[in-house]
Amino acid sequence: MKDEIKVGIAQIAPVWLDRQLTLEKVIRYTAQAGDEGCSLVAFGEALVPGYPFWIERTDGAKFNSKIQKDIHAHYMDQAVQIEAGHLDALCEIAAEKEVAVYLGCMDRAADRGGHSLYCALVYIDSGGEIRSVHRKLMPTYEERLTWAQGDGHGLRVHGLGPFTVGGLNCWENWMPLARTALYAQGEDLHVAVWPGGVHNTSDITRFVARESRSYVMSASGLMRRPDFPETTPYLDEILRESPEFFANGGSCIAGPDGEWIVEPCLEKERLITATINHRCVRAERQNFDPVGHYSRPDVLELKLNRKRQEAIQITESS
Q: Summarize pLDDT for 124-146 with one digit per residue, the tens.
A: 999 999 999 999 999 999 999 99
Q: Look at residue 1 in the predicted model and tell me its pLDDT.
A: 62
Q: Look at residue 105 in the predicted model and tell me its pLDDT.
A: 98
Which domain does 16 fall in, by range? 4-284
The one catalytic residue in 25, 38, 45, 265 is 45
Please give the Cα distance from 82 to 183 (Å, whole number).
27
The one catalytic residue in 170, 252, 265, 280 is 170
Q: Look at residue 92 in the predicted model and tell me its pLDDT.
A: 98
Q: Considering its fold, how many domains does the chain have in total? A: 1
- Cβ atoms of 261 and 245 within 8 Å: the answer is no
Residue 298 domain flag: no
Residue 63 domain flag: yes
CATH number, position 133: 3.60.110.10
Q: Summarize pLDDT for 158-177 with one digit per residue, the tens.
A: 999 999 999 999 999 999 99
> Is 263 marked active-site?
no
pTM over 0.85: yes
Strand boundaries in the chain, DSSP class E: 4-11, 40-42, 100-108, 117-124, 130-135, 158-160, 163-169, 189-194, 215-220, 222-224, 245-254, 260-266, 270-277
> Is 119 marked active-site?
no
Query: Position 113: which residue type?
Result: G
Residue 294 domain flag: no
Q: Which among 51, 104, 136 is positioned nearest to 218, based on CA atoms?
A: 104
Residue 293 domain flag: no
Q: Which among 119, 138, 221 is positioned nearest to 178, based on CA atoms?
A: 138
- The residues of the chain scoring below 50 in pLDDT are none
Q: Look at residue 117 in the predicted model and tell me its pLDDT.
A: 98
> Is 69 marked active-site?
no
